[in-house]
Amino acid sequence: MKKALVLCCHGIFHPKGYFVADPRYIDRESPPLELDKVAVYFEQMMATAHLLRNGAYDRLIVSGGHTKPTIAPDLNEAESYWEIMRYLFSKSETNRVFLDCISRDSFENILFSMIKFYRYEGEFPGILDVMTWNFKKERLQIILDTLRIKGHAIGVGEIEGYPSKTSAQIADEIRHDPLHRTRDFAEKRKERTIADFSPFDWICYDEAGLPPSAGIMKMLEVLEQMEKDNNPQLPPGFKFPWEK
């Protein structure tokens, strides 16, 4: 049984030397809170590297797409993180890393990482764990459980007073729609999209890897239809392609 770890990205490390988290901060020095967040992201990178290098996982997926299309349309989160992280690994270890450069939210971080793993390994991981903030741990665990994926959310990093909501409140925000199918989530993804986009576009994005299975394509069709219908509920009897 193969184990994979997903590192959820939270912004773009710009090659000109700043972190793109909010358009308001693009032309000036980031305020203290933003700099504190960047320090947490480095902490998450180090924790992720430690786990992979010590053999806890067979593969690492660094996940994050073109989430700042108006100010950094040519840059994505995963590649910007990897430009920093690659110095933490040996050459053989870098061969165990995949980049998901498409995901626009936490749900897609997990879903697309599962698909990425399948396309390059020919099977789904038996366990998929997710690295995130401490305050998002419960929220990410809800997504994993709803997708019926065996895995745990791993929380790393805290900032006193941030966020203003509790972990439970942040988790409760998605309990009605853990698969992010309703309009609020769809609109957020649209804001983070560089062009018209659907999961089918992503399937054609990779130049290499196995073609998607019929089960993956059927799942994407179902999820896309749920979004069109503003419906958070899976059809009765639905099974994800990794369920046996």
CATH of the domain at 110: 3.40.50.620
Q: Compute the CA torsion angle 14, 15, 18, 24 (nearest 10 deg).
A: -40
Report the alpha-carbon distance of residue 51 to residue 224 in Å, rounded. 34
When pLDDT is cut at 50, 70 and 90, the band that residue 213 belongs to is: confident
CB atoms within 10 A of CB 105: 19
Count of domains observed in the chain: 1
Inside any domain, residue 239:
no
- Asked if 187 and 105 count as a contact pair (C-beta separation under 8 A), the reply is no
Residue 150 maps to a domain: yes
Torsion on CA atoms 184, 190, 193, 195, rounded to nearest 10: 170
pLDDT of residue 211: 80
Residue 238 lies in a domain: no
Residue 57 inside a domain? The answer is yes
Where does residue 105 fall: left (phi above 0), alpha (psi -120 to 50 degrees), or beta otherwise?
beta
The three-point CA angle 86-5-73 to 5° equals 55
Sort strands 12-13 and 19-20 into parallel, antiparallel or unpaired. antiparallel
Mean pLDDT confidence for 194-215: 74
- In the sheet with 153-155, reading across from the earlier edge strand, the strands are 97-100, 59-63, 3-8, 127-132, 153-155
Note down the domain range covering 215.
3-228
What is the rounded average pLDDT of the residues 178-203?
84
Q: Taking the model in full, what pTM does it have?
A: 0.93
Per-residue pLDDT reduced to its tens digit, 86-116: 999 999 999 999 999 999 999 999 999 999 9
- Determine contact, residues 18/87, Cβ cutoff 8 Å: no
Of residues 8, 12, 7, 44, the one with CA closest to residue 26: 12
Task: Establish if 234 belongs to a structural domain.
Answer: no
Q: Rounded to the nearest 10 degrees, what angle do helices 77-85 and 32-53 cross at?
A: 70
- pLDDT given at position 90: 92
Q: Is residue 207 part of a domain?
A: yes
Average pLDDT over residues 188-208: 74
Q: Are strands 153-155 and 97-100 parallel, antiparallel or unpaired?
A: unpaired
Has residue 244 been placed in a domain?
Answer: no
Q: Is residue 153 part of a domain?
A: yes
